Structure 1
Amino acid sequence: MNTALRATSDRPCGPRDGDPIDQIAAALRTDGYIVLPAPLPPAALGGLLRHFRSIDREQFRRAGIGREDEHQLNRFVRSDKIFWLDNTNLSVNAYLSWMEALRVGLNRRLFLGLFDYECHYAYYDRGTFYKKHLDCFQGSTNRVLSTVLYLTPNWQPRDGGELAIYPPGEEAAAPDALPLLKVAPRFGQMVIFLSEEFPHEVLTVNRPRYSVTGWYRVNNSLGDIVDPAS
């Protein structure tokens, strides 16, 4: 069910034209998700990891759940810390350019109406987790595709922190429900899936875990209310 892609160049460019984006689009159309073992070149991954490590941990904020008036901190649901990204860093800017090229390519193939992309670094310390959830906010349909790019070097199975993805409609399933798949947070691996369809969780982490987590969104602007907000 998974489609493997691999970049063969260290050039700081977007996804290659042709088959790779076709394969991503086909997987999203048929399965709703895809795991990419190494879609970005090593130089790009190294730049992101160096930037991640250069940020003072005090600048990371404990992540919450919900949005705006419904936003709250709940350590029983999630215990990671996040740092929102923009294009001021060269490595992040190259990554955002890559994701922009993917956005354009997926819109051409799937007509998803993807409007923009937002992302943050996610830092999971030992013993942290994120319980089963959906990436769309209640009453909102603006998050369409979720992406996670893993930056933890030398991950081993004993390190934990896998992403468990459950079948659609299983968000209220029993705690012992079996996942559809588990994605190992290996360095350079990326997973993309439909935000509104797949409940998922980050299993307990046994060593610090780094990733770039992001979402492609549609434009739900209505009247004087602008969404996505700037």
Structure 2
Amino acid sequence: MSFDAWLTKNPYIENSIPTFTREEPFSNLLMDLQTKGWSVQDDFFSADFTQALMDEVENIQNAYMLQAGVGRKQDHQVVLDARRDYIQWIDPDKPIKKDFLKMMETLRVALNRRLFLGLFDYEAHFARYEKGAFYEKHIDAFKGESNRILSTVLYLNESWEYGDGGELVIYDEHNPEIEVGRYSPIKGRLAIFLSECFYHEVLVAKKTRHSVAGWFRVNNTTGKTLDPDQ
């Protein structure tokens, strides 16, 4: 039995919700990353698992979310000209959050086995873009200056239609003026890309838009510096 096939038959039990419906949920994603450095996969998780995540983020009141900014947790700075979304970091304090983080940990292992990236951990937050919110073109990590290696975005929106805005735009690795993909934030769609290589942006949302944004990281702890959270 393949590693992916084992996953489909052994869902995590915090929620007793099957995580995947595909027999090999990681295979296309891994191939895309190996050949072009980014991938967009529809219906990545099972419908029930995705719905549980949607229920969780939709029930978060704005008062319990932070105005998103630039910089990692402890270096967070609000820059409204750059982005206007709200976030809540995901901690394993509820069953569905535990299951999601466990599943991304399993993906981390698969990525290291296939691509030898040396990924150490994963961090993520729920994101809410209300009407009029956006995130200007940016890159998640500058070469040699960050421990973020792979960026992920999982979309949690029901009945998203053409004209609702909020699309993710990905730009060419070698020429950030060339658009290589534009994707609506539809329910269950996962985007993943090399953090240092691909500029991207979120176009203005015409209605409330939810997602999970996350990063697979390497450990940059040295003899003089302790990597944050480690």
Interval of TM-score (by shorter of Structure 1 and Structure 2): 0.7 to 0.9
In structure 1, how many angstroms separate the alpha carbons of the residues matched to 2:49 and 2:57?
12
Match of 1:133 in 2: 138
Q: Secondary structure at the match of 1:82?
A: strand
In structure 2, how many angstroms separate the alpha carbons of the residues matched to 1:200 and 1:159?
18
Match of 1:26 in 2: 31
Shift of 1:158: 1.2
* Identical columns (%): 41
Asked whether 1:77 is paired with 2:77, we answer no
In structure 1, how many angstroms separate the alpha carbons of the residues matched to 2:10 and 2:188?
13
Q: TM-score, normalised by structure 1?
A: 0.87
Match of 2:195 in 1: 195
- Long gaps (5+) in structure 1: 1-6, 172-176
Shift of 1:48: 0.8
Shift of 1:88: 0.8
Q: CA RMSD for the aligned pairs?
A: 2.5
Shift of 1:31: 0.7
Match of 1:158 in 2: 163
Q: Secondary structure at the match of 1:119?
A: strand
Asked whether 1:104 is paired with 2:96, we answer no
- Cα 1:8–1:229 change in 2 (3 A) is closer
Asked whether 1:208 is paired with 2:208, we answer yes
Residues 15 and 21, structure 1, Cα contact 8 Å, conserved in 2: no
Residues 170 and 199, structure 1, Cα contact 8 Å, conserved in 2: no
Match of 2:184 in 1: 184
Residues 150 and 210, structure 1, Cα contact 8 Å, conserved in 2: yes
In structure 2, how many angstroms separate the alpha carbons of the residues matched to 1:18 and 1:38?
13
Asked whether 1:43 is paired with 2:85, we answer no
Residues 14 and 97, structure 1, Cα contact 8 Å, conserved in 2: no
- Cα 1:88–1:71 change in 2 (3 A) is closer
Residues 152 and 209, structure 1, Cα contact 8 Å, conserved in 2: yes
In structure 1, how many angstroms separate the alpha carbons of the residues matched to 2:10 and 2:54?
16
Equivalent pairs, count: 219
- Cα 1:162–1:15 change in 2 (3 A) is same
Q: Kindly provide the CA deviation profile for residues 99-150 of structure 1, in whole angstroms up to 9, marking residues without a partner as x.
A: 1111001101111001000000010000110000011158623000000000
